Structure 1
Amino acid sequence: MFKDKMRSITTDTLIGQGTVAEGKIICDAGIRIEGEYRGDIECTSDVIIGECGMARSNITAQDITIAGIVYGDITARGRLTITASGQLHGVLHAQSLIIHEGGTFSGQSQMDKHQPAKNRPLAADTQESKDEAGKKARQAV
């Protein structure tokens, strides 16, 4: 019972400015990075990369806010926000995307509310869509 109270989701993890950390983080609590972090982050809560923060990471979380710099792939089960000072260089998968004026995004993006983007075939790759495209092309002639 005492251990359950210790594992509170409301406790946030902070990697402070001037700190350099490396490894893999798997957690339920929110994370804020103001220093430098290298490694994957898997979080069931929210991740914030602060204005002084830099992450060379693949990040998976509920909502992600980038005010610093991220080099890596992002998977937000909810919303990804890139603030005016934020930079993302990588591939993003999110249900919702907000990029404030001045924010930088360099890479590829996929947005899907229903299925993870990795598992869903592209419409052009399915046999049904190929057959349908062929019918439309023949009708146009």
Structure 2
Amino acid sequence: MFKESKKKLSAPAMDTLLANGTSFEGTVEAEANIRIDGHFQGDIRSTRTVVIGESAVVRSDIIAQDVILAGKVFGSITTEGRLTITPTGELYGNTATTALVISEGGILDGTIQMNRTKDVELSTSTDESNDETQSSFSKNKEDSQAALQSEAG
């Protein structure tokens, strides 16, 4: 009555969870999603998404594809994708990312380095239009400076 499937089902990657009320110190490296709801100190590296839950306090440098921050992080966050800071999220440190979303109430106390995605490449036609834009910008800047000098003088 039922046909046996000849397709082999692959098990999804298990997520790594550090639950609320748990403390951990060390280095975590994973090719799966990581969620931290407890206290963590050390380095975190993931090729997938790292979620820092609302109750989490993390003293760490985090490198991941994407990071969703709802708790507190003291350290740097580097993503190849998106850093999302929710209304309860707090980052006290630097970040380097290609996309940044900070919801109202979220805190980022540090520096931001926005990186281009690997897909974006500048062509020679873009360079030529940039040259025209640059010369137009320089002329506008000169005009603005001259106007300021005549007002001051």
Pick the TM interval, shorter chain.
Answer: 0.7 to 0.9
Offset of residue 113 of structure 1: 1.6
Residue pairs, 1:58-97, within 5 angstroms: 58-97=61-100
Match of 2:114 in 1: 111
Among residues 4, 7, 17, which one is paired with 2:20 in the alignment?
A: 17
- Counterpart code for 2:54: E
For residues 60-115 of structure 1, the C-alpha deviation after alignment (integer angstroms, 9 at most, x for no partner) is 00010000000001001100000000000001000000000000000000001247
1:38-69 C-alpha deviation (Å, 9 max, x unpaired) = 00001001000000011100000001000000
Shift of 1:23: 0.1
Runs of 5+ consecutive residues of structure 2 not aligned to the other structure = 1-9, 119-137, 147-153
**Helix, strand or coil: the match of 1:39?**
strand
1:41 matched to 2:44: yes
AA paired with 1:10? Answer: A
Please list every run of 5 or more consecutive structure 1 residues that lacks an aligned counterpart in the other structure: 116-135
Partner of 2:3: none
Kindly name which structure, 1 or 2, has the bigger radius of gyration based on alpha carbons: 2
TM superposition shift of 1:9:
5.8
Q: Secondary structure at 2:80's aligned position in 1?
A: strand
Match of 2:29 in 1: 26
| TM-score, length basis structure 2 | 0.69
CA distance in structure 1 between the aligned counterparts of 2:34 and 2:103, rounded to whole angstroms: 21
Regions of 4+ moved over 2 Å:
none
Matched residues in 2 for 1:22 and 1:113: separation? 33
TM-score when normalising by structure 1: 0.75
Give 3-state SS (helix, strand or coil) of 1:40's partner.
strand
DSSP-derived class of the 1:70 partner: strand
Residue aligning to 1:129: none
Residue 130 (structure 1) aligns with: none
